[in-house]
Amino acid sequence: MEIADLLKWYLVFLYSTTLHEAAHSWTAWKLGDDTAYRGGQVSLDPIPHIRREPLGMVVVPLVSFFAAGWMIGWASAPYNPAWAMANPRRAGLMALAGPLANFGLVILSGIAIRAGIQMHYFQVPAYFSFMSMTQSVGGAGAAFAARTLSICFSLNLILGTFNLLPIPPLDGASVLLLFVSGSAAKSLFSLIRHPTLRLVGIYLAWQLFGHISRPIQLFAAHTLYPDLIF
């Protein structure tokens, strides 16, 4: 385990999580709820997000890296529950914005990887893993870029997909508000915010994701390298 790997992981985790929460916050602000804007979360500066969730943004990612070699953590953006209750479809769009931001980073990372291959800085890896979606042809700079882009591609794919699972308290549960209205929306919103269900939901989502994460990564690898046979 190298300090360089810790740096790559943390930079990607920090800014991926920051972008995710900034997307939630910006969308809410534009749709009528300025709670996160007033809290400083409509920003790509990680500091306001770290101040809000120091445990999830600093402590847990570092502990998980040293314990398992990869990072997990969380962040959050405040919003007005009364606004969400009164505007369920807007709340659903706010929830959707975070995962879409992660998928945007997946696309940008994939474009950069393909460009690096075309310019002969990168090549198709001998095997695919979280940290090896591409590998460098040679040179320290290319090696750093290949590892960082691999992490960015994989981590944001995981973050975006995991958060879209329709299980409270993940974003996917709130995205369902896009498809209901009236009393059904109010009932769903109350269910999403129920503290016991949120705890159970995290456990269920984690167990479920263990079964689908590898197929998702193989699908992404096939998309990145359509000429290869898996």
- Going by pLDDT thresholds of 50, 70 and 90, the confidence category of residue 71 is confident
Based on the residue annotation, tell me whether 21 is a catalytic residue of this protein.
Answer: yes
Read off the pLDDT of each residue in 112-140 and give the average, rounded to a whole number.
90
What is the reported pLDDT for 53? 93
- Going by pLDDT thresholds of 50, 70 and 90, the confidence category of residue 152 is very high
Q: Is a pLDDT exceeding 90 seen at residue 46?
A: yes
73 contact partners, CB below 8 Å, separation of at least 6: 13, 17, 56, 57, 58, 60, 61, 64
Q: Is a pLDDT exceeding 70 seen at residue 108?
A: yes
User: Could you state, in order of their start, the residue ranges of all structural domains in the chain?
Assistant: 1-77, 88-225
Tell me how crowded residue 210 is: count the other CB atoms within 10 A of its CB.
9
Q: Which two tokens stand for residue 25?
A: 């916050």
Chain mean pLDDT for the chain: 89
In order, the DSSP letters of 54-94 are: HIIIIIHHHHHHHHHSS----------HHHHHH-HHHHHHH
> In angstroms, rounded to a whole number, what is the distance separating the alpha carbons of residues 25 and 33?
9
- Going by pLDDT thresholds of 50, 70 and 90, the confidence category of residue 226 is confident
Who has greater pLDDT, 40 or 226? 40
Read off the pLDDT of each residue in 77-97 and give the average, rounded to a whole number.
95
Q: Is a pLDDT exceeding 90 seen at residue 48?
A: yes
Task: State pLDDT tens for residues 162-217.
Answer: 899 888 888 999 999 999 888 888 888 888 887 777 677 777 777 777 677 778 88
Q: Is a pLDDT exceeding 70 seen at residue 137?
A: yes
Answer yes or no: are the C-beta atoms of 221 and 213 closer than 8 Å: no
Read off the pLDDT of each residue in 98-106 and give the average, rounded to a whole number.
97
Q: Is a pLDDT exceeding 80 seen at residue 228?
A: no
Catalytic residue among 21, 33, 53, 171: 21
What is the reported pLDDT for 1? 55
- Going by pLDDT thresholds of 50, 70 and 90, the confidence category of residue 140 is confident
Query: Quick one: what percent of the chain has pLDDT higher than 70?
Result: 97
| Prediction pTM value | 0.91
Provide the β-strand partners of residue 123: 135
